[in-house]
Structure 1
């Protein structure tokens, strides 16, 4: 059998800080090809990506998605073991990416190799691995999906191997995610002396009015599968060093994590409407710069979700919660291609100094993925 724990340590030793490949995808390809996977590098704009398929094109296909890029480790002197050592101490693997998510990639690579080698299915298995999830994420999974569409490749369902469990294995499966919208607000008035406000137009008071209006009441109360949408003011910037000068401009940033009652377009329209109302009352002009990094989505409970939930419950001794909590992941791109959910390891140490994962947990995830594949193709 392929040992996912050993592969995790080997991947950690590849210094693949976004957007560097660091040898991680090369290592994975060297393992997949002897097992019969047809591998293609789908690099775009310097971003490394790997597509691998076992089985005939057009057959019933199960897919996995993940990333081998990692966030910077910070000061190596703060780590108990060097961040790219892949040290294994008393059953624990140490290093950047141990949790997020070289272990998840190692688990589905190892499971897929063993499954197609020992019990070749009547179907196909596709693995998509990107080197750009922790960064801008424009040329990672989106590039892989664009290439698949252009080349007639298709997954029927997909698991993203991100760490999905807050504290213990089998605690949670992510069946969707909230959307994320960021708006940069600039309020533009007229500079002047603070002692003569009638000769100026202070942009800060209308800016505060707008922010107060946006935060005065919740956007909604949540839905069946989603918690209430959240709106947070994340920064207010003026840069005015003088106490007796009314500034010309003030800036603020607002981030909204929204459920399936909203869309990027509907929230953009709402924000423009609220800003226009304050403009009309005060005479201050607003400039709004929007960025939607992902729409909300849901993979509704059904045969695919039930299969994964049943396997996880049997393996872990607990029925996982079906959740849409947390931030964004590459599932926000995969959902436009096929039904997708997220299940992986416990995420307690991700992005932290001394990131680490128990070997036993990685092997358990490998077994879970292998069982999911076996039941899907049964």
Structure 2
């Protein structure tokens, strides 16, 4: 059994349903400390929703463990401004769903026909295992690399994402920590390992709109004011609006209604209020501020009596092709022969927080077809190539 597979199974066997880390990060910290990483556990959130975060940064091996030549290299590198590569991910997983529907217990790593089953197998414990083993092998060959390495691991990615990576990033900002590159181990591959990486994500902006009317008997509409009727023309205009045209990396910004409710349940009452939930998924061609302004202008144009509550879930981010994209693409091609596709599709990830302090960030991990599903799984044959790709990125960035 490879070191990557062994570590992946250790992590999968921990029932770390968000926000419970269930001891996963202690396993990781022990491995990283043995390599010379300084590990810091950052706890956040209320007692009934305690989140565990791990920030680990390579500080180098002790001088007693280095030869004279290696020590000289260490002294030379110490005087340089090294760039930092961060491996980021999450140890928390989504709930299992009905246990009786699983072919094998979700927190008992199981093998069938070359496939590893277990909750978190694809999202994203194998990525974390591959990252750690890649660093172990890289440092064994290059004890004092021309590159600083760090890990940012949270147990609050599948939950509200309030006390996880966002908290760590704020602390790193306050300390003046400089991050140059980041790889988030999200499962981005579609059909083959490495066929897609994410070099950005759209922003997400949600709103809860309440349109006021006057409740009344449906037989006396002149004594009431129907908010559904009032809002209908504005809804048509919002649906037809082109918010932006996107760009070469992002599709056009979309506006979608996710829920609408009005009425008391009785068929003879005109409702006094309509409540509508909606969401923007927006490109870098728009800002949260501009979208808010434009939407409210439509509501005001139609002279609606309304209240509106906004929730910004994340800003869009984009890494244009550069050192990191080139290193990841070249590593994928060298290991698998696959020419990777850059994409910004899909939902949000913790990359949205890290991107605020890291100019080059991509997401790359195993095939994502089974994530969050019953019998989540990953191909065992993909684990070593995944580890080798992460290791190849380290080697390429250290050589710059």
Range into which the TM-score falls when normalised by the shorter chain: over 0.9
Q: Which moved more, 1:57-66 or 1:336-345?
A: 57-66
Of 40, 54, 58, 1:54 maps to: 58
Of 226, 251, 275, 1:227 maps to: 251
Of 344, 350, 356, 2:371 maps to: 350
Question: Does the CA contact (< 8 Å) of 2:314 and 2:348 recur in 1?
Answer: yes
Q: Which residue of 2 aligns with 1:288?
A: 308
Q: 1:230 and 1:324 mapped to 2: Cα distance?
A: 14
Question: Does the CA contact (< 8 Å) of 1:211 and 1:233 recur in 2?
Answer: no
Deviations 1:92-144 (A, max 9, x none): 21111011111111111111122123322133210110000011101111111
Q: 1:317 and 1:218 mapped to 2: Cα distance?
A: 40
Is 1:129 aligned to residue 153 of structure 2? yes
Q: 1:255 and 1:150 mapped to 2: Cα distance?
A: 32
TM-score, scaled to structure 1: 0.95
Q: Which residue of 1 aligns with 2:181?
A: 157
- The count of residues paired between Structure 1 and Structure 2 equals 374
State the secondary structure of the residue aligned to 2:396. Answer: helix
Q: Which residue of 1 aligns with 2:320?
A: 300
Q: Which residue of 2 aligns with 1:329?
A: 349
Q: Which moved more, 1:125-134 or 1:114-123?
A: 114-123
State the secondary structure of the residue aligned to 2:225. Answer: coil
Q: Which moved more, 1:202-211 or 1:36-45?
A: 202-211
Q: 2:31 and 2:8 mapped to 1: Cα distance?
A: 13
Q: 2:133 and 2:175 mapped to 1: Cα distance?
A: 26
Q: Which residue of 2 aligns with 1:341?
A: 362
Question: Does the CA contact (< 8 Å) of 1:21 and 1:131 recur in 2?
Answer: yes
Q: Which moved more, 1:182-191 or 1:208-217?
A: 208-217
State the secondary structure of the residue aligned to 2:123. Answer: coil
Q: Following TM superposition, by how much is the alpha carbon of 1:26 offset from its aligned partner in structure 2, in angstroms?
A: 1.2
Q: 2:380 and 2:19 mapped to 1: Cα distance?
A: 27
Q: Following TM superposition, by how much is the alpha carbon of 1:59 offset from its aligned partner in structure 2, in angstroms?
A: 3.1
Q: Which residue of 1 aligns with 2:38?
A: 38
Q: Which residue of 2 aligns with 1:79?
A: 102
Q: Following TM superposition, by how much is the alpha carbon of 1:89 offset from its aligned partner in structure 2, in angstroms?
A: 3.0
Q: Which moved more, 1:247-256 or 1:210-219?
A: 210-219
Q: 1:161 and 1:328 mapped to 2: Cα distance?
A: 13
Q: Which residue of 2 aligns with 1:20?
A: 20
Q: Following TM superposition, by how much is the alpha carbon of 1:262 offset from its aligned partner in structure 2, in angstroms?
A: 0.5
Q: Which residue of 2 aligns with 1:99?
A: 122
Q: Which residue of 1 aligns with 2:68?
A: none
Gaps of 5+ in 2: 61-77
Q: 2:111 and 2:233 mapped to 1: Cα distance?
A: 55
Is 1:186 aligned to residue 210 of structure 2? yes
Question: Does the CA contact (< 8 Å) of 1:67 and 1:131 recur in 2?
Answer: yes
Question: Does the CA contact (< 8 Å) of 1:177 and 1:298 recur in 2?
Answer: yes
Deviations 1:46-80 (A, max 9, x none): 21000111136963221111001000001111100
Q: 1:207 and 1:118 mapped to 2: Cα distance?
A: 66
State the secondary structure of the residue aligned to 1:292. Answer: strand
Q: Following TM superposition, by how much is the alpha carbon of 1:217 offset from its aligned partner in structure 2, in angstroms?
A: 3.8
Q: Which residue of 2 aligns with 1:268?
A: 292
Cα distance change on mapping 1:114 and 1:239 into 2, 3 Å: farther
Q: Following TM superposition, by how much is the alpha carbon of 1:152 offset from its aligned partner in structure 2, in angstroms?
A: 4.1
User: Once superposed, what is the RMSD of the aligned Cα atoms?
Assistant: 1.6
Q: Which residue of 2 aligns with 1:7?
A: 7
Q: 2:154 and 2:169 mapped to 1: Cα distance?
A: 11
TM-score, scaled to structure 2: 0.90
Q: 2:7 and 2:173 mapped to 1: Cα distance?
A: 30
Deviations 1:223-281 (A, max 9, x none): 11111222111111124211111111111111111111111111111111111112x2x
Q: 1:110 and 1:146 mapped to 2: Cα distance?
A: 28
Cα distance change on mapping 1:297 and 1:174 into 2, 3 Å: same
Gaps of 5+ in 1: none
